[in-house]
A = this chain, B = another copy of it.
Amino acid sequence: MAILKTDKILLSHGSGGKASHELISELFLPAFDNPFLNQLNDQALLEVGDLRIAYTTDSYVIDPIFFPGGDIGKLSVYGTINDLAMCGATPLYISAGFIIEEGFSIDELRKVVYSMKQASDLTGVKIVTGDTKVVNKGHADKIFINTSGFGLVDKDVNISVNRAKVGDKIIISGSIGDHGIAVLSKREGLYFDSPIESDCAPLSDLVKEMLSVTKCIHCLRDPTRGGLATTLNEIAQQSGVGIMIEETKIPIKEAVKAACEFLGYDPLYVANEGKLVAVVPEEYSLEIVSKMRDNKYAVDAQIIGEVVSEPKRVILKTSIGSVRIVDMLSGELLPRIC
């Protein structure tokens, strides 16, 4: 077992990027060693009785808690729904654990809770169990929410981060970077000519529609913390393949592109909360993209590249025709983005 390079937890251990992966592989996996966790998917796939149950958890510590296009409540429900959808599950039930700072406004709590209710009503995924803890003022920041959730997966669906095959096509469901830039602009009080909203949205119906084309979807993942670049690296590493993507094919809104240029961010690393990356067999790829574009959350779906055998890295063909290696996020770009 390698030794972590530091004796203190750093912000980058929560980035979703390299340091997060180190912490998971060097501390959590050796302790909790079991085949479900070791798959390194965003959800565990469990056989219980005759059922295949997908199970996941996420904590939300986003700052600020209200941002253009959403709030911590909406995010906490859709985030967990999306983690379940990413293995093809139909999400059923959600739990909600609140950690609240003493002195937090009950009006704001009510807004957050009603936003969760709305997200639950819109998706039909019920919040069935919960818990509330309060910590002394100054020992938490306003409100943190954990949601866990479970859902059912059909017997013939096998979607996992380690199933990408050479020749598969890579699809992104829409423009990247919206969530990260929306939250950052609110946090830092930045104003852009075209307001940028978070893409925070539930993707379970979209996945169901994709699976109606074929059950042979190999990988699905939502590129949240660490962005598209980190997600593609996870797929490449876990599947033992290379991935080649084309910069010109990746949808990015002009306003997000401009904001990233202004702020010095690479949009490939900026978080999304309503997008998915799919790795699918070439023969189904056009039909899947066409089906996706009928869904309001994926009208800009694009094939952005393909799985290759070598090199076992993520390679970007830039708009000027050169190629560069796209690595996993190193350090921390935007702390508390979800």
Chain B residues with Cβ below 8 Å from A31 are 113-114, 116-117
Does A43 sit at the interface, judged by CB under 8 A?
A: yes
Asked if B146 contacts A48 (CB within 8 A), the reply is: no
A114 to B33, CA, bound (A): 11
Chain B residues with Cβ below 8 Å from A105 are 7-9
Asked if A99 contacts B99 (CB within 8 A), the reply is: yes
Q: Which residue of B lies closest to A144 (CB)?
A: B99
A residues touching B (Cβ–Cβ < 8 Å)? 4, 6-15, 20, 23-24, 27-28, 31-32, 34, 36-37, 43-44, 46, 48-51, 53, 55-61, 63, 92-93, 95-107, 109-110, 113-114, 116-117, 120, 126-136, 138-141, 144, 146, 148, 150, 152, 335-336
A93 to B4, CA, bound (A): 28
Given contacts A36-B126, A57-B146, A58-B97, 17 further A-B contacts (CB under 8 A): A12-B134, A13-B100, A23-B132, A32-B120, A34-B127, A34-B128, A37-B130, A44-B129, A50-B50, A55-B93, A57-B96, A59-B98, A61-B99, A99-B99, A129-B148, A135-B141, A140-B144
Query: Taking the full assembly, how many copies of this chain does it contain?
Result: 2
Chain B residues with Cβ below 8 Å from A27 are 106, 109-110, 113
Minimum CB–CB distance from A271 to chain B (whole Å) comes to 13
Partner of A10, one of B23, B130, B134, B148: B134
Asked if B9 contacts A134 (CB within 8 A), the reply is: yes
